Structure 1
Amino acid sequence: MANAVEKVTGALRERVPPLTSIPLPRSVDQRWLGATWPVRELAPAPPGLKPVLGDEGPPVIGHALDFMRFGIEFGLKRYETYGPVSWMGAFGRRIVALTGPEATQIALVNKDKAFSQEGWKFFIEQFFDRGLMLLDFGEHHLHRRIMQAAFTRQRLTGYVDQMGPALRDGIAAWADRPNPRIYWSLKQLTLDVATRVFMGMSSGDDAAAINRAFVNSVRAGTAIVRFPVPGGRWAAGLHGRKVLERYFSANLPAKRASDGDDLFTALCHATTEDGDRFTDADVVNHMIFLMMAAHDTSTITSAAAVYHLAKHPEWQERARRESLALGDDVPDIEALETLTTLDLVIKEALRLVAPVPSLTRKTVKDTEVLGHFIPEGTLVGVSPTVNHFSPEHWTDPMRFDPDRFGEDRREDKSHRYAWMPFGGGAHKCIGLHFGTFEVKALLHEMLRAYRWSVPEGYTARWDYVSLPVPADGLPVHLTPR
């Protein structure tokens, strides 16, 4: 058996681009890269299919901490070692990893309906129960149709009009803090926008409590100890969920009776042509999920863009020229659409730091991916993080190069799933346009108000404990223009 496993592993390695062709950051621990664990089959494969190979990693915790610590480098090393279909131990389970655009496409297009959103339930159901991302098949389709009424062009135009003044005021307030840890400033700002645009409330004590509840709920999803031990992340997440339920349930009747232009009100009134509407429980569940998805992903993307614009001042100046050309008015949706340099920068920031680094599925029947047998009941992870650095699809993938998204290159078109920061298939992010407009409006206001830089020789290190966060908060120096 050992010889057979080695033979298959060798064959896989021949088909995968060597990791040595990608210069890894200095932060990678070379001792970890050389670590080996016994290679085993996930399950015996039926005739005509190959087994999925992988390893358990360290006892009990598996590779959970390896991914949290090394992120991109961990995924690339697994890809080099095992190829596009492998498994690993993590969180006390065996999880199959599908990496590379071809394997990703099979899971996300999901033609034979073998891959279910049930995978997310293992990580976040207790905290984001029945959010849109956790629903499957016909039920998901119905809820998405209803929710689409809250993300029409008309609604987006209203959201942009609301967020503009909030962003301008919030960014102006940074003037007395020239050396912030900008990630935390951005997180507070995107929360202020989310509470105003999504919930119709101003920032304050309630908003601070809501923010803590969201943070605790998100971080609990990747807790190693998955029991409500007092003081632990799991217990904090469960408490956070209760706080959110109480808040949204208490405010729901007033939203049902109002005609406001915030998302909370929009979900209360959203109706399909067939008359389908959300129940009160649906609205609460979707608001909890959408608030998390909206302000966390926007914060991560904004932080990544701010960091790379600091490291590449020529791009900062190029983007600033376009922003200043708009004049002093707070831009509307049409004005934001003219900022083409920021489009390129944001797309490259999303490539380099995918806000959701792994998409989880669970097989509801036996299936196969690229000739590898995956049995029913298997947790599966799809990795935008690895796809975004594939040397087969990206030129010099570790380099910040927004022009790769320009019309004369369009490297993102090398494969439908080479660039997938918003997921894909039926569950592609419903709020992708809202999020892009928010990040673009935020960066526009920063470009108007400041020039910024990071310390000489500084390199950001992203912590993947839940979603990617700069481990030190990302120190920057702001200079008013």
Structure 2
Amino acid sequence: MTSAVVRAFRERVPPLTAIPLPRAVDRRLMDQRWPVRELATPPPGSGLSPIVGDAGAPIVGHAIESMRFGLDFALHRFEKYGPVSWMGAFGQRIVVLAGPDATQTALVNKDKAFSQEGWQFFIERFFHRGLMLLDFEEHHLHRRIMQEAFTRDKLAGYMRQAAPVLRSGVAAWAGAERPRLYWLLKRLTLDVASRVFMDMPPGADADAINQAFVGTVRAATALVRVPVPGGRWAAGLHGRRVLERYFAEKLPSKRRSEGADLFSALCHARGDDGAEFTDDDVVNHMIFLMMAAHDTATITSSAVAYHLAKHSSWQERAREESLALGDELPDLEALAKLTTLDLVIKEALRLTAPVPSLPRKTVKDTEVLGHYIPAGTMCSVSPNTNHYSPDHWTNPRAFDPERFAEGRREDKSHRFAWMPFGGGAHKCIGMHFGINEVKLLMHEMLRTYRWSVPEGYRIKWDYVSLPVPVDGLTVRLQRLR
């Protein structure tokens, strides 16, 4: 693999072997050499090239390395095989599409060869018929109806509901000098989702819902995919049943009301042609949206908080803008003035994509960058690799929010150079809600506390499901007033 883009990675991105690995077993995992093979023989006369890769260990393939090393494993595979390769994982042969050009082919999906069945393999049992799992015309119909719940007026209303929850929640941390910040943020983002999405106050119900969501999310990457008692798969199935019962019980009252929460909005949403969601549709979409909203907001706010802890000058710069807003709860117009937070949030999303892999499955023979992919093939688009491409980002491992400022805009180097919210027809419908929620949360932290991490501390992310800080992100928290 000697293409220019691969050579660029070798020259400008530190190789995985340069990153200290804590244990001998980690070194052995990454240094293990497996036989390189072709995925499938291209049709005669097609002019296409075969995809090469390796299966890894029997049955589990490279699932363990992928979950343990995350970003570094993705970059390691790209360096070794280039933008189109295959690997074994979860008992499957999975084609990995890495880099902006390969990503564009799959997500623009002009010939409708790539379906959401890839997601279905991982999360269908737990997030049945959520928006992200629907395909083509059906997806377009559901998205068109759901868009009524994400208009700017609706978004402004959601932020008005979120603001007091975040202010009181952040203030309640005052007694915690060295908290594990990730878990505080997760509790708080769930409280926001419960209030904004369901009009549900914090309490025992919210705790049970949170536990159910944790079970369903972690089950997606279970290596043992049968309901063994005590296993992740069984916990995920139990979590799904809890969520279904909860939303089904609440649905009739939401149908009757005209509340400002998302649950009510979905119950009353209508497409241009008058189409509406069935009860089952509403339950399925609520389960998926609640998961997507609070998990990705937790990951993003954790990443932003980490980088602000590491880079005190950026924290002070952002704090100055937040304090300038005064003591009023900010609305969308006020949040738009927090330009430093805009830059930091975008850079944090680049460095830690909340969803590091976007599964797809081919429904017919197709090709990507001249490589043959047969029908029925599992594929995975890799945002992490795009976000660290030295052909599109200056010094990609460095924290440099100014790369998003006018005059540089490195994110404009390619349509898919920066894609924390996916792309194409399935680009995240709630991305504006998510960014404004994180901005509102960080605003409250900045006006209330100063926080730091020890010199030399480097966050380590656990990729067993979505990224989670291994140590929970312990910070030193100092109240300002």
In the other structure, the counterpart of 1:326 is 325
Work out the CA distance in 2 between the residues paired with 1:26 and 1:197.
42
- 1:13/1:81 contact within 8 Å kept: no
Post-superposition offset of 1:316: 0.1
Post-superposition offset of 1:18: 3.5
Q: How does 1:28-43 map to 2 (within 5 A)?
A: 28=21, 29-43=26-40
- 1:13/1:82 contact within 8 Å kept: no
In the other structure, the counterpart of 2:152 is 153
Q: Which amino acid aligns with 1:215?
A: V
Residue of 7, 10, 17 corresponding to 2:8: 17
Q: How does 1:71-90 map to 2 (within 5 A)?
A: 71-90=70-89
In the other structure, the counterpart of 2:227 is 228
Check if 1:447 corresponds to 2:446. yes
Q: Which moved more, 1:38-47 or 1:312-321?
A: 38-47
Work out the CA distance in 1 between the residues paired with 2:5 and 2:345.
34
TM-score normalised according to structure 2 size: 0.97
Classify 1:187/1:375 alpha carbon distance in 2 versus 1 (closer, same or farther; 3 Å). Answer: same
What's the secondary structure of 1:98's corresponding residue? strand
Q: Deviations along 1:254-306, whole A, 9 cap, x unmatched?
A: 00000110000000000112110000000000000000000000000000000
Q: How does 1:116-265 map to 2 (within 5 A)?
A: 116-265=115-264
In the other structure, the counterpart of 2:54 is 55
Post-superposition offset of 1:58: 1.4
Q: List alignment gaps of at least 5 residues for structure 1.
A: 1-9
Residue of 19, 25, 40 corresponding to 1:26: 19
- 1:76/1:386 contact within 8 Å kept: yes
- 2:6/2:78 contact within 8 Å kept: no
Post-superposition offset of 1:458: 1.0
Work out the CA distance in 1 between the residues paired with 2:6 and 2:244.
49
In the other structure, the counterpart of 1:4 is none
Q: How does 1:301-312 map to 2 (within 5 A)?
A: 301-312=300-311
- 1:389/1:397 contact within 8 Å kept: yes
What's the secondary structure of 2:198's corresponding residue? coil
Work out the CA distance in 2 between the residues paired with 1:20 and 1:225.
39
- 2:6/2:79 contact within 8 Å kept: no
Q: Which amino acid aligns with 1:448?
A: R
Q: Deviations along 1:349-389, whole A, 9 cap, x unmatched?
A: 00000000000100000000000000000000000011000
- 1:16/1:83 contact within 8 Å kept: no
What's the secondary structure of 1:18's corresponding residue? helix
Classify 1:221/1:320 alpha carbon distance in 2 versus 1 (closer, same or farther; 3 Å). Answer: same
What's the secondary structure of 1:417's corresponding residue? coil
What's the secondary structure of 2:8's corresponding residue? coil
Work out the CA distance in 1 between the residues paired with 2:186 and 2:2.
45
Q: Deviations along 1:215-274, whole A, 9 cap, x unmatched?
A: 100000000000000000000000000000000000000000001100000000001121
In the other structure, the counterpart of 1:6 is none
**For this pair of structures, how many residues does the alignment match?**
472
- 1:102/1:417 contact within 8 Å kept: yes
Post-superposition offset of 1:17: 2.3
Post-superposition offset of 1:30: 4.9
Q: Which amino acid aligns with 2:111?
A: D
What's the secondary structure of 2:53's corresponding residue? strand
Q: Deviations along 1:319-368, whole A, 9 cap, x unmatched?
A: 00000000011101110011000000000000000000000100000000
Q: How does 1:273-352 map to 2 (within 5 A)?
A: 273-352=272-351
- 1:127/1:237 contact within 8 Å kept: yes
In the other structure, the counterpart of 1:392 is 391
Work out the CA distance in 2 between the residues paired with 1:410 and 1:440.
20
Work out the CA distance in 1 between the residues paired with 2:9 and 2:29.
17
Q: List alignment gaps of at least 5 residues for structure 2.
A: none
Work out the CA distance in 1 between the residues paired with 2:3 and 2:34.
17
Q: Which amino acid aligns with 2:19?
A: R
Work out the CA distance in 1 between the residues paired with 2:96 and 2:202.
40
In the other structure, the counterpart of 2:65 is 66
Q: Which moved more, 1:43-52 or 1:217-226?
A: 43-52
Q: Deviations along 1:59-99, whole A, 9 cap, x unmatched?
A: 22100010111111101111111110000000000000000
- 2:166/2:441 contact within 8 Å kept: yes
Check if 1:458 corresponds to 2:476. no
In the other structure, the counterpart of 1:361 is 360
Post-superposition offset of 1:13: 7.9
Work out the CA distance in 1 between the residues paired with 2:19 and 2:39.
33
Give the share of equivalent positions with the same residue, in percent: 70
What's the secondary structure of 1:17's corresponding residue? helix
Classify 1:364/1:397 alpha carbon distance in 2 versus 1 (closer, same or farther; 3 Å). Answer: same
What's the secondary structure of 2:388's corresponding residue? coil
Work out the CA distance in 2 between the residues paired with 1:197 and 1:222.
29
- 2:9/2:390 contact within 8 Å kept: no
Post-superposition offset of 1:26: 3.2
Work out the CA distance in 2 between the residues paired with 1:154 and 1:285.
24
- 1:86/1:96 contact within 8 Å kept: yes
- 2:130/2:287 contact within 8 Å kept: yes
Work out the CA distance in 2 between the residues paired with 1:77 and 1:19.
10
Work out the CA distance in 2 between the residues paired with 1:452 and 1:18.
34
Work out the CA distance in 2 between the residues paired with 1:472 and 1:397.
25
- 2:350/2:387 contact within 8 Å kept: yes
Q: Which amino acid aligns with 1:269?
A: H
Classify 1:144/1:16 alpha carbon distance in 2 versus 1 (closer, same or farther; 3 Å). Answer: farther
- 2:403/2:410 contact within 8 Å kept: yes
- 1:191/1:295 contact within 8 Å kept: yes
Work out the CA distance in 2 between the residues paired with 1:479 and 1:308.
17
